[in-house]
Chain A
């Protein structure tokens, strides 16, 4: 299995603050990897840099053997690298079905949806994320858990090779978390490479076989959940900030 995502010496500064500091890692095709760190560690910024929403001060990002540093977000999406947002973003005044259709209308999504037909393809994705009963509703009336699923459904519409999920569990009830768990597992089993962030260790520990930990923009460690959970610096980062480790 080859490397699908290779991040090298990534650095991003916001004024005097170094949000991401000389950060490097690799993800292999088909892997299921978590990125953890307390709030403010720089996880979202890493995602923004990889997906092209922010430009790094230095460092490079290679996806599928291609240098994608500096490409525009939509170009990166159409190569097959897709991200979701920590604060869900939906098209408020369009139906849930149309929300997914937009992604299916991107050049990459179109290629995948053309054979089946747009409506059918988008409906199929909605069934998969469990929103088919609400296809005709505008997203504003959906509960938060549904919006998170829609967020994943929209990403799935572009037919991604690798999916970057930014805190897909935050603010969800235990039950809703279980739904999203199952959904992400299914995507992973279908062969989509998954890179997922979380600031609560417990949420990711049971889900992913490999975890990368970061703190204050810096790489700390990379390994199995057990190794990472017992790492001295990880414990310090969390306990020092009073974050929940249980």
Chain B
């Protein structure tokens, strides 16, 4: 783009609305033409992004074939589960502009319901997980309806309130008979005999979840979500029933957060009220901020950075490692502040651009 347009951008953009939490405040690239959307899978595989994704997927598949170390498996499974969770938040906040600070509600309901059905009803884990996710959809409706009138920080607080209510409800032991008391439900049967099988189950569910989420955000419904995020009044004036679509976003997001929660409980073979803590909502936000908001795929990068790179980085650091382990909120908050202040696009997009520039440079383009 010529310089002339660039200066025009800075003039115009300063007048546009700044979204809460910088969603999506990443205005730096706005002077660029928005690339044409790749519609078919075949086409996608041969794009830069497509081939990179396939490469990463192959890498992930290879890990357990090389090493079956329990510790590595545990870390990788956390990474997979939380990437689904982060992506579900990204759909709601990054794509639809509904910043929820109570996403742990969906996660927790998914976890509890899945655990309860496995333990009490003896259902297979897969069905329990789906039932948990459906329960999370219902909760999404229950939370969505009163919260829809709230905007920006008020919505964040409203959703946060629900996670507090549920945390206290589950802590109180009122639901002791079905869902356990403060110690929750434990000693769930393992998802499978071998760790590696569990790993592949979760990997498959994660890949399918990401395919579905990507299809949704690229489809017409995704276009409507983005319109609501950018300007709700204008969407209304374009004949869009914004209430309906915001509810749909809450439900889809709730479903995938519920899946993540279910997998989390089933894999750890236990669940307790701490899943409703604000910390879990925070995980999703930090991972999305790390990877890049409104990208879906950024959630994988964010989850990888958080659960694999940072964990490993802090572990040998003695006192600092202890802080990371015992005060994750502190670290998350720091990361979030740094990301919002210095890298509101997250890491994925700028990194991809640099890699691509380097790639072009190597090829002498």
Contacts and interface: CB of A to CB of B under 8 A. Distances in A.
Contacts of A138: 30, 34
B346 to A, nearest CB: 15
A109 interface: yes
Interface in B19-34: 24, 27, 30-31, 33-34
A89 B226 CA distance: 14
B223 to A, nearest CB: 6
A69 to B, nearest CB: 17
A99 to B, nearest CB: 8
Interface stretch (A72-80, A203-211, A222-230, A231-239): A72-80
B9 A74 contact: no
Interface stretch (B123-131, B156-164, B237-245, B316-324): B237-245
Interface residues of B, number: 34
A92 B16 contact: yes
B36 A136 contact: yes
Contacts of B56: none
Contacts of B34: 94-95, 136-138
Given A94-B227, A137-B34, A140-B16, A106 B240 contact: yes
Interface string A71-107: 0111001100011110001111111001101110111
B237 A137 contact: no
A37 interface: no
Interface string A139-157: 0110100000000001101
B220 A105 contact: yes
A200 interface: no
A105 B224 contact: yes
Interface string A95-138: 10011011101111100000000100000000000000000111
B355 interface: no
A5 to B, nearest CB: 17
A158 interface: yes
Contacts of B27: 140
Contacts of A92: 16-17, 30, 230-231
Q: Interface residues of A toward B: which range?
A: 35 or more
Contacts of A154: 234, 237-238
Most A CB contacts (10 A, CB to CB) among B5, B13, B30, B34 go to B34
A84 B237 CA distance: 8
Interface in B75-109: none
Interface string A1-33: 000000000000000000000000000000000
B239 A94 contact: no
Given A94-B223, A98-B226, A136-B34, A141 B5 contact: yes
B236 interface: yes
Most B CB contacts (10 A, CB to CB) among A72, A82, A83, A140 go to A140
A91 B227 contact: yes
B223 A141 contact: no
A85 B234 CA distance: 9
Interface string B198-219: 0000000000000000000000
Interface of A: 51, 53, 72-74, 77-78, 82-85, 89-95, 98-99, 101-103, 105-109, 118, 136-138, 140-141, 143, 154-155, 157-158
Interface of B: 5, 8-9, 12-13, 16-17, 24, 27, 30-31, 33-36, 220, 223-224, 226-227, 229-231, 233-242, 294
Given A53-B237, A82-B239, A101-B220, 7 more contacts: A51-B237, A78-B239, A84-B237, A105-B220, A140-B13, A141-B31, A154-B238
| Closest A-B pairs by Cβ, 9 of them | A106-B239, A77-B239, A91-B230, A89-B234, A103-B238, A102-B227, A95-B34, A73-B236, A158-B239
